[in-house]
């Protein structure tokens, strides 16, 4: 009997059809990779199998317990009502009241605002000590069990999310792009842990890119626009080395030269130090970037990259305790507000899409970049601003979705919208933090070609973060590498 079977299944997300007439079976012993372009339906298929969406037509059958591990940064959803932290990376000063990894994994979390621990009664965990130990050892989380979960790096958090599903001992494990955003070390841990689970009898289905299909995959399902294009046994050589020619588009003229370029240094960081509970997340960082330089910021998960960027974007609560210049002015300059700083910076981050209200359309999401808002703004766009939104939407291939809610787009399409938002005000400094997460191969090449074109100007400064060498744009000519909160290399 099949572990999973779909017979003529079609699915709608709210009012939008996303999957069409799917016939597919997953038999015992099979491990499937689900691939396809952005918006092809990969995540929607996993969510449907997990029971998050009902079938509009057809029959879906499952044999055994199913667990779905999503690929997002909504940390408040991890702990539900117990921990409502969006800015995990920057709000670790609240770690003293956040649940530990052990409490998250055993569902022993106290509600936010609990003053008297004795006033809260929590049911005994159904997770045994042995189960927790085994899963923690498999995912190399043992040393982190008593650490507040909001202080974890991306790689550690991803492993914790997987552990949270594995302690429930599922028969079928659904993974949505599990390797995205992980450094080499974390990817290897995940590869090995999943291989061990398969040996123990777990069936694994994962949405991923062709370049990251693990060796233990037996079959590949290729989707295109919500339909099955190919069902095949996995042959490694057939998927390695595939290439897609970058999409082309004419760069809008207004991007030829950025605005507000009357400075010599985009920033000058001196002895930057960020400390949480006595632990230095950043330790004596010196980094000076001239106008027009193009930098890659690299380093393993937990090395301090995103914390460092949060100083530059004025999002970190410890920024005032540090010594630095932004655009030749000390900490933004006398009388400069946080909004004056943000006006000169175009920013993309992995979790930015989570801050937009659910009803925000693609048009409003892009337009909000004029005001450094997250989809809510009160000024009416003038004709020039409206034209710019349309030009960038066409350039990045999202013009067809202008009136659709941002949250209903695929993660890859959302990344393209956020790049358009970062560019719409034509800023002199672009800070792109892992901007290609969730993009398919063709979209990555398109994204890089747009960044290269935008950065042809010697007046544009770029800071680009990625764990993958193939995602680094060709315009990059300077590198800084962090390790354990310190500068390991600069060249």
CATH of the domain at 302: 3.40.50.300
pLDDT score at 80? 43
For residue 338, tell me if it sits in a domain. Answer: yes
For every residue of the chain, which 3-state class applies, written as one string?
Answer: CCCEEEEEEEEEECCEEEEEEEEEEECCCCCEEEEECCCCCHHHHHHHHCCCCCEEEEEEEECCCEEEECCCCCHHHHCHHHCCCCCCCCCHHHHHHCCEHHHHHCCCCCCCCCCCHHHCCCCCCCCCHHHHHHHHHHCCCHHHCCCEHHHCCHHHHHHHHHHHHHCCCCCEEEEECCCCCCCHHHHHHHHHHHHHHHHCCCEEEEECCHHHCCCCCCEEEEEECCEEEEEEECCHHHHCCCCCCCCCCCCCHHHCCCCCCCCCEEEEEEEEEEEECCEEEEEEEEEEEECCCEEEEECCCCCCHHHHHHHHCCCCCCHHHCEEEECCEECCCCCCCHHHHHCCEEEECCCHHHHCCCCCEHHHHHHHHHCCCCCCCCCCCCHHHHHHHHHHHHHCCCHHHCCCEHHHCCHHHHHHHHHHHHHCCCCCEEEEECCCCCCCHHHHHHHHHHHHHHCCCCCCEEEEECCCHHHCCCCCCEEEEEECCEEEEEC
For residue 157, tell me if it sits in a domain. Answer: no
Average pLDDT of the segment spanning 318-332: 83
Per residue in 437-450, pLDDT tens?
877 788 888 889 99
Beta bridge partners of 296: 464, 479
**Whether the predicted pLDDT of 40 surpasses 70:** yes
pLDDT score at 174? 96
Q: How confident is the model at residue 333 (pLDDT cuts 50, 70, 90)?
A: low
**Whether the predicted pLDDT of 30 surpasses 60:** yes
**Whether the predicted pLDDT of 391 surpasses 50:** yes
pLDDT score at 482? 95
Average pLDDT of the segment spanning 452-464: 94
For residue 224, tell me if it sits in a domain. Answer: no
**Whether the predicted pLDDT of 335 surpasses 70:** no
For residue 234, tell me if it sits in a domain. Answer: no
Q: Find the domain containing 485 and state its range.
A: 253-490
For residue 417, tell me if it sits in a domain. Answer: yes
pTM above 0.85, yes or no: no
Q: Please give the share of the chain, as a percent, with pLDDT higher than 70.
A: 87
pLDDT score at 248? 52
For residue 238, tell me if it sits in a domain. Answer: no
**Whether the predicted pLDDT of 148 surpasses 70:** yes
Average pLDDT of the segment spanning 396-410: 88
Which is more confident, 155 or 275?
275
pLDDT score at 82? 39
Q: How confident is the model at residue 76 (pLDDT cuts 50, 70, 90)?
A: very low
**Whether the predicted pLDDT of 401 surpasses 70:** yes
Average pLDDT of the segment spanning 359-365: 92
**Whether the predicted pLDDT of 405 surpasses 80:** yes
- Average the pLDDT over each of 93-102, 180-189, 204-213 and give the range with the smallest value: 93-102
For residue 317, tell me if it sits in a domain. Answer: yes
**Whether the predicted pLDDT of 20 surpasses 70:** yes
Average pLDDT of the segment spanning 53-71: 93
Per residue in 253-296, pLDDT tens?
899 899 988 999 999 999 999 887 677 889 999 999 999 999 99
Per residue in 272-281, pLDDT tens?
998 876 778 8
Q: How confident is the model at residue 397 (pLDDT cuts 50, 70, 90)?
A: confident
In the chain, the number of structural domains is 1
Per residue in 156-205, pLDDT tens?
888 888 899 999 889 999 999 988 878 888 889 889 999 999 999 999 99
**Whether the predicted pLDDT of 99 surpasses 70:** yes
Q: How confident is the model at residue 79 (pLDDT cuts 50, 70, 90)?
A: very low
Give, to the nearest 10 degrees, the angle between helix 383-395 and helix 411-423.
140
The count of other CB atoms within 10 Å of the CB of residue 224 is 14
pLDDT score at 151? 72
Average pLDDT over the chain, rounded to whole? Answer: 85
**Whether the predicted pLDDT of 75 surpasses 50:** no
For residue 12, tell me if it sits in a domain. Answer: no
**Whether the predicted pLDDT of 245 surpasses 50:** no
Average pLDDT of the segment spanning 138-144: 90
């Amino acid at each position: 009997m099949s572990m999973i079977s779909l017979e003529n299944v079609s699915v709608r997300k709210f009012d939008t059809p996303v999957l069409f007439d799917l016939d597919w079976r997953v038999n015992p012993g099979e491990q499937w990779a689900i691939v396809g372009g952005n918006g092809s339906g990969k995540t929607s298929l996993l969510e449907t199998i997990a029971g998050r969406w009902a079938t509009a037509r057809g029959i879906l059958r499952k044999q055994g317990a199913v667990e779905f591990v999503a690929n997002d940064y909504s940390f408040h959803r991890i702990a539900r009502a117990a921990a409502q932290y969006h800015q995990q990376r920057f709000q670790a000063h609240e770690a003293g009241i956040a649940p530990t990894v052990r409490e998250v994994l055993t569902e022993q979390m106290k509600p936010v605002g609990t003053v008297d621990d004795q006033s809260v009664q929590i049911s005994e965990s159904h997770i045994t000590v042995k189960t927790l130990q085994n899963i923690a050892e498999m995912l190399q989380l043992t040393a982190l069990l008593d650490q507040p979960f909001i202080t974890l790096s991306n790689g550690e958090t991803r492993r914790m999310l997987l552990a949270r599903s594995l302690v429930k001992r599922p028969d079928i494990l659904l993974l949505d792009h599990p390797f995205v955003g992980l450094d080499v070390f974390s990817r290897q841990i995940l590869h090995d842990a999943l291989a061990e689970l398969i040996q123990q009898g777990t069936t694994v289905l994962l949405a991923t890119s062709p370049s990251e299909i693990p060796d233990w995959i037996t079959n590949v399902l290729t989707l295109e626009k919500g339909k099955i294009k190919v069902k095949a046994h996995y042959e490694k050589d057939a998927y390695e080395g595939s290439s897609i020619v970058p999409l082309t588009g004419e760069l809008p003229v207004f991007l030829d030269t950025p605005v507000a370029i009357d400075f010599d240094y985009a920033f000058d960081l001196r002895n930057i130090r960020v400390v949480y509970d006595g632990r230095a997340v950043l330790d004596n960082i010196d980094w000076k970037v001239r106008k027009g330089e193009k930098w890659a910021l690299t380093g393993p998960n937990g090395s301090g990259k995103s914390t460092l960027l949060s100083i530059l974007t004025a999002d970190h609560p410890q920024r005032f305790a540090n010594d630095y210049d932004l655009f030749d002015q000390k900490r933004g300059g006398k009388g400069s507000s946080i909004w004056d700083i943000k006006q000169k910076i175009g920013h993309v981050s992995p979790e930015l899409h989570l801050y937009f209200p659910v009803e925000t359309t693609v048009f409003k999401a892009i337009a909000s970049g004029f005001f450094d808002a997250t989809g809510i703004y009160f000024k009416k766009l003038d004709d020039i601003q409206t034209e710019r939104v349309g030009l960038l939407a066409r350039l990045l291939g999202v013009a067809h979705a202008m009136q659709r809610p941002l949250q209903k787009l695929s993660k890859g399409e959302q990344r393209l919208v956020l790049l358009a938002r970062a560019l719409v005000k034509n800023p002199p400094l672009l800070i792109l933090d892992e901007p290609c997460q969730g993009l398919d191969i063709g979209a990555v090449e398109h994204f890089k070609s747009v960044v290269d074109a935008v950065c042809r100007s010697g007046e544009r400064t770029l800071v680009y973060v990625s764990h993958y060498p193939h995602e680094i744009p060709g315009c990059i000519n300077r590198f800084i590498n962090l390790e354990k909160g310190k500068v390991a290399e600069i060249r």
